[in-house]
């Protein structure tokens, strides 16, 4: 299983089938370019969708009071920023620390906090990820380029339709004193799932 894995063995829902049929028809008629569709989906998965989650994490990094609120009452704190929706009614925020690293999976389907992270990536829905995340979470993170030391406990959290999770990654060193807008650039979708750590500031970047 890699971050580009395209194997998704879960049967598509009726809505997904209808969307795929409409997409195929539009492409066949020459009304929509397939590459444009793929690029749009990629944009929503990686940039537009996770932007809300990035703002939540950046505010928690910059504002200790908001961070405490987010951990104690995540739904209230998140709602205060206007990020609510049917796929994010109940969210628990998991803080990464020097001692604990959290990773999120949905072993039965692909439950995901849509209002915060947008569309779930294909690999998150795939059977290989769902299985390996539970059996070998360190191995999964290694495939995404993250090595978690043996001195840190790795906790795997299984999302359900009743409870979804957002990982609060550690603020990387070198970003002390940065404003929220600057901090957002260090937060990735994958770090909010837990398969990666937050990005470190570039050596040429200044607050």
Has 110 been annotated as catalytic? yes
Tell me how many degrees the CA angle 46-95-54 measures, rounded to the nearest 5. 30
| Distance between CA atoms of residues 160 and 179, nearest Å | 34
Q: Which two tokens stand for residue 32?
A: 């929509």
Taking Cα atoms as reference points, which of 189, 183, 162 lies closest to residue 171? Answer: 183
| 15 pLDDT higher than 50 | no
- How many CB atoms are located within 10 Å of the residue 100 CB? 12
Q: DSSP string of 111-132?
A: ---HHHH-SPPHHHHSHHHHHH
Q: Number of C-alpha atoms within 13 angstroms, CB side, residue 93? A: 23
Whether residue 111 lies in the annotated active site: yes
First to last CA, the chain: 37
Give 29-46 pLDDT, tens digit per residue: 665 666 655 555 555 555
179 assigned to active site: no
Among the listed residues 51, 80, 109, 146, the single catalytic one is: 109
pLDDT at 118: 87
Phi, psi of 104 (to 5 degrees): -110, 140
Measured in residues, the chain has a length of: 207
The residue among 131, 146, 132 whose CA lies nearest residue 96 is 146
- Catalytic residue from among 106, 126, 159, 191: 106
Give 173: exposed, middle or buried? Use CB within 10 Å, 0-12, 13-18, 19+: exposed
Spatial neighbors of 54 by CB under 8 A, at least 6 apart, are 184, 187, 192
pTM value is: 0.77
Q: Residue range 155-177: average pLDDT?
A: 95
Q: Would you call 51 a catalytic residue per the annotation?
A: no
Q: Where does residue 60 rank: exposed (0-12), middle (13-18), buried (19+ CB within 10 A)?
A: buried
CA of 16: how far to CAs of 50, 57, 91, 202, in Å? 21, 30, 24, 40
Write the pLDDT tens digit of every residue in 92-118.
999 999 999 999 999 998 899 988 998
Instruction: Find the catalytic residue in 51, 80, 110, 146.
Output: 110
Q: Which pLDDT belongs to residue 24?
A: 62
SS3 88: coil
Selected catalytic residue, list 111, 126, 159, 191: 111
């Amino acid at each position: 299983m890699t971050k580009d894995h395209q194997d998704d063995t879960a049967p598509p829902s009726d809505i997904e089938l209808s969307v795929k049929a409409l997409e195929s028809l539009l492409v066949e008629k020459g009304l929509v370019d397939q590459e444009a569709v793929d690029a749009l989906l990629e944009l929503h998965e990686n940039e537009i969708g996770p932007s809300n989650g990035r703002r939540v994490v950046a505010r928690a990094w910059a504002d200790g009071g908001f961070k405490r609120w987010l951990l104690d009452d995540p739904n209230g704190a998140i709602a205060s920023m206007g990020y609510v929706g049917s796929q994010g009614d109940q969210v628990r925020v998991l803080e990464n620390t020097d001692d604990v690293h959290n990773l999120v999976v949905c072993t039965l389907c692909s439950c995901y906090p849509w209002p915060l992270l947008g569309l779930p990536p294909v690999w998150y829905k795939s059977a290989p990820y769902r299985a390996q995340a539970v059996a070998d979470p360190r191995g999964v993170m290694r495939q995404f380029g993250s090595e978690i030391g043996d001195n840190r406990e790795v906790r795997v959290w299984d999302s359900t339709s009743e409870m979804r999770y957002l990982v609060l990654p550690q603020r990387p060193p070198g970003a002390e004193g940065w404003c929220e807008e600057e901090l957002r650039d260090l937060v990735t979708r994958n770090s909010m799932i837990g398969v990666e750590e937050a990005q470190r500031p570039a050596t040429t970047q200044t607050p």
